[in-house]
Amino acid sequence: MAAGDLKHIVVTQAGRNRLVERTGFVKESVLQALVQASPELLGPLGESLLFLPIGYEVPLSGARRLDLLFLDSEGLLTLIETKLRANDESRREVIGQVLEYALALEAWDAESIRLRFAQFVTSPPAPADLKGLSLSEAAVLRFGWLEDEESERAAKLDALFSKLESNLQRGLLRVVVGVDEHIEGLEKLVQYFSRHSDLQVVLLQVNSFPVEEGLSVLIPSLHGDVGEAPGRIPGSPTARLTLGALLDLFPEGAERSTVADLLKLTESLGASFEPGPSGTSVRIRTSLWPQPVTIAWFFGPGKQGWMRTADLSFGHPLADNPLAPPALVSALEDYFLGIAGLGLGTDASSKGVHAWRMTATDAGLRFHELSERLRAVAGALNDHRPL
């Protein structure tokens, strides 16, 4: 028997058994809030997939609002529309409705998703643990990457946003219709669209069994295309920019020359480069730390990078690392504060990361002082001396 056909469950407590009947939901908003708060209900879509909520009652074209928007750990957007069996619309219109929503997202890109998430985390429905976080920070938290090395986290975020951008460009989305009870005919519609479109269309039935006051057992049941999402290639490598390709992102003239000079300067200081899909991190080796320490992130104009870094960002990722030796943190903090003291750009710091962001034009205006601070931090890390 499929989970969606369950009418009751047996609860054993203190040696006594009792039947608990399945119940529906009184309001769609209750089911909607439940799915947002419990992404685990989407677990049957894939054992390794995790889901990050990025929108609630998302405004689209016209007066339409999408109930829920998630990003999964493989960079695929998941659109969720909840309907109760008591709502006749769930049988007649929901498929056309969610396809309209998918069409509305056709013009979105990764930056649109970041902006949508930034609005979501300031709204009342946003989960408390996501309040005030950037999309990158939230992904690190919800996808379990906090314990990874900084370089590994950066690589995972690069891969995530590269896949997201690619999926959006190719029109690949997952559409989920969330219901409380089996709805005759809707499952067949979902299966039809799964077979005849590039969208992954899924019917999620949330079976609720109220055991006692404040305690319910929820059993998800999925129907339709619950296999690998169309067009996704598991484990496919992430494209990474060469330094030459990074320079080509900047217009010819002063901006490109400034970035070229910064790359030459940091390379002469013994730095190594770790390219990603939209830029590179700049790292210096030191005996104070087992891994090369990032001192800068260079991205193409307007490109968003790791955490809140973007454009040309100068700083370090060890601000809150309890294992980092005080001498190392002190040198890096002095460097960060020296960059901020130049009076150009904006603070791009986030949890565990202290960084100062500026454009290539800004960097060109104070290139001499910027160079001196880069030389100083490289010397401090090499010689273990305070700045």
Mean pLDDT of 361-368: 95
| Rounded CA separation 353/67 (Å) | 33
**Residue 135 confidence (pLDDT):** 92
Q: How many angstroms separate the first and last alpha carbons of the chain?
A: 69
Looking up tokens 């969610």 gives 98
**Residue 282 confidence (pLDDT):** 93
Cβ(289)–Cβ(328) under 8 Å?
A: yes
Mean pLDDT of 149-155: 82
Rg over alpha carbons for the chain, rounded to the nearest Å, is 25
Strands (E), 233-345: 272-275, 279-284, 293-299, 312-316
Mutual orientation of helices 110-120 and 135-142 as an angle, nearest 10°?
80
Convert the pLDDT of each residue in 30-40 to its tens digit: 888 888 888 88
Q: Is pLDDT larger for residue 58 or for residue 213?
A: 58
**Residue 373 confidence (pLDDT):** 96
* Token pair in block for residue 312: 């040309």
Choose from 49-53, 216-220, 225-229 the range with maximum mean pLDDT: 49-53
Q: Is 256 a residue whose pLDDT tops 60?
A: yes
Q: Is 12 a residue whose pLDDT tops 60?
A: yes
* Token pair in block for residue 376: 């100083």
Across the chain, mean pLDDT equals 82
Cβ(327)–Cβ(311) under 8 Å?
A: no
Q: Is 91 a residue whose pLDDT tops 60?
A: no
Write out the DSSP string of 216-260.
Answer: EEEEEEEEE--SSPTT--TTPPPP---HHHHHHTSPTTHHHHHHH
Q: Is 298 a residue whose pLDDT tops 50?
A: yes
Q: Is 257 a residue whose pLDDT tops 60?
A: yes
Q: DSSP code of 91? A: H
Closest by alpha carbon to 316, among 295, 337, 333? 295
Q: Is 308 a residue whose pLDDT tops 90?
A: no
Closest by alpha carbon to 276, among 137, 158, 357, 160? 158
**Residue 217 confidence (pLDDT):** 84
**Residue 268 confidence (pLDDT):** 95
Q: Is 233 a residue whose pLDDT tops 70?
A: no
Q: DSSP code of 227? A: S
At 195, is the pLDDT very low, low, confident or very high (cuts 50, 70, 90)? low
Convert the pLDDT of each residue in 60-71 to its tens digit: 766 678 889 999
**Residue 235 confidence (pLDDT):** 41
At 85, is the pLDDT very low, low, confident or very high (cuts 50, 70, 90)? low
pTM score above 0.85: no
Maximal C-alpha separation, the chain: 80
Q: Is 87 a residue whose pLDDT tops 70?
A: no
**Residue 29 confidence (pLDDT):** 82
Choose from 50-54, 61-65, 145-149, 220-224 the range with maximum mean pLDDT: 50-54
For residue 3, is it left (φ>0), alpha (ψ between -120 and 50) or beta?
alpha
Indicate the helix (H) or strand (E) that contains 138.
helix 135-142
Q: Is 368 a residue whose pLDDT tops 70?
A: yes
- Residue-range domain boundaries for the chain: 3-224, 243-383
Percent over 70 (pLDDT), the chain: 84
**Residue 88 confidence (pLDDT):** 55
**Residue 10 confidence (pLDDT):** 87
| Rounded CA separation 235/226 (Å) | 19
